[in-house]
């Protein structure tokens, strides 16, 4: 399939002044939101109520809490939809016996699920070879874990909430208590402080980083270890509890593994 792109801001600034960029691939539209760079405390801890990012529901592997400084970037308003995936890839990411279906969630506005990390890489590569994307000087990619958490927490606009956009999980997330055992369409719950939807719940989202425990060191634009066996996933999903939908919760899995609660949210850099 021949892919073309229309970009609302054909001259995207290197200093990330555009608050959002609308992109249409063939006839499927999605929006990238600007996340202005800054420093935040990443992770959570449950041992000292007077220290940063105390969360009584956190697990040991969410700490130690540490300082992270990030440059500006763009991140998608929503998970990659089934319509966008089909348009870009020409097929679903699954084997014949694991197709998207009515029981689990089917439709253009549903997020693409049963997506492995390797599937995600192929999707990003397919976007980046579109002539208009290359000409615009932008590069799509899988967000790093730090970028994901910073955006989930609301970036520089954060209100310090437990979930992405609220302390009340039902306002922002589809999880085991309210999902009726299936994936839900994008943008049905409230957005967070940056206008991002479903960063808590609905589907776990792949991150670029290989999984390892945090060292506790202060970091600048971290990308995880050079090599390991499992990639990070973030955000919780429709069949996990609300505890797993918190902004600091970490999951990890083989990059080859696809599941009905794994999906993808795009990040984007200006590279011209």
**CB contact at 8 A, 24 and 63:** no
Q: Identify the pLDDT of residue 95.
A: 66
Run of H or E residues at 123: helix 117-128
Q: Compute the distance between CA of residue 248 and CA of residue 243 in angstroms, rounded to an integer.
A: 10
Q: Compute the distance between CA of residue 3 and CA of residue 87 in angstroms, rounded to an integer.
A: 8
The pLDDT averaged over each successive group of 10 residues in the chain (272 residues) is 90 92 98 98 97 97 98 98 96 75 95 96 98 96 98 98 98 98 98 98 98 98 97 98 98 96 97 87
Q: How many CA atoms lie within 13 A of 228 on its CB side?
A: 15
Strand 73-76 versus strand 204-210 pairing type: unpaired
Q: Compute the distance between CA of residue 86 and CA of residue 129 in angstroms, rounded to an integer.
A: 16
Backbone CA torsion sign across 266, 269, 271, 272: positive
Q: Is 155 helix (H, G, I), strand (E, B) or coil?
A: helix
Among candidate residues 261, 114, 162, 116, the one with its CA nearest the CA of residue 202:
261
Cβ count near 207 (within 10 Å): 30
Output the CATH code of domain 5-270. Answer: 3.90.1580.10
| CA 154 to the chain's CA centroid | 13
pTM confidence score: 0.97
Would you state the structure tokens that stand for residue 7, as one six-digit string?
């970009």
Residues 6 or more apart in contact with residue 120 via CB below 8 angstroms = 142, 206, 264
Q: Compute the distance between CA of residue 6 and CA of residue 30 in angstroms, rounded to an integer.
A: 11
């Amino acid at each position: 399939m021949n892919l073309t792109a229309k970009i609302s801001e054909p001259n995207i600034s290197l200093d990330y002044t555009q608050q959002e960029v609308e992109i249409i691939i063939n006839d499927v539209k999605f929006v990238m939101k600007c996340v202005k760079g800054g420093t935040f405390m990443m992770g959570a801890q449950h041992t000292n109520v007077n220290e940063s990012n105390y969360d009584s529901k956190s697990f040991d592997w969410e700490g130690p809490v540490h300082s992270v400084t990030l440059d500006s970037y763009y991140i998608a308003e929503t998970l990659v939809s089934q319509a966008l995936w089909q348009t870009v890839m020409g097929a679903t990411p699954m084997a014949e016996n694991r197709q998207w279906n009515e029981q689990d969630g089917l439709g253009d506005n549903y997020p693409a699920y049963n997506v492995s990390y390797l599937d995600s890489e192929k999707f990003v590569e397919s976007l980046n070879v579109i002539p208009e994307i290359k000409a615009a000087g932008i590069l799509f990619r899988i967000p790093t874990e730090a970028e994901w958490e910073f955006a989930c927490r609301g970036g520089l606009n954060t209100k310090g909430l437990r979930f992405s956009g609220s302390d009340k999980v039902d306002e922002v997330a589809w999880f085991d208590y309210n999902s009726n055992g299936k994936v839900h369409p994008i943008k049905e719950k409230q957005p967070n402080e940056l206008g991002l939807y479903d960063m808590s719940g609905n589907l776990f989202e792949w991150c670029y980083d290989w999984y390892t425990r945090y060292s506790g060191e202060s970091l600048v634009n971290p990308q995880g270890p050079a090599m390991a066996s499992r990639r990070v996933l973030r955000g919780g999903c429709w069949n996990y509890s609300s505890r797993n939908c918190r902004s600091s919760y970490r999951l990890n899995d083989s990059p080859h593994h696809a599941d009905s609660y794994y999906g993808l949210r795009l990040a984007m850099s200006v590279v011209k």
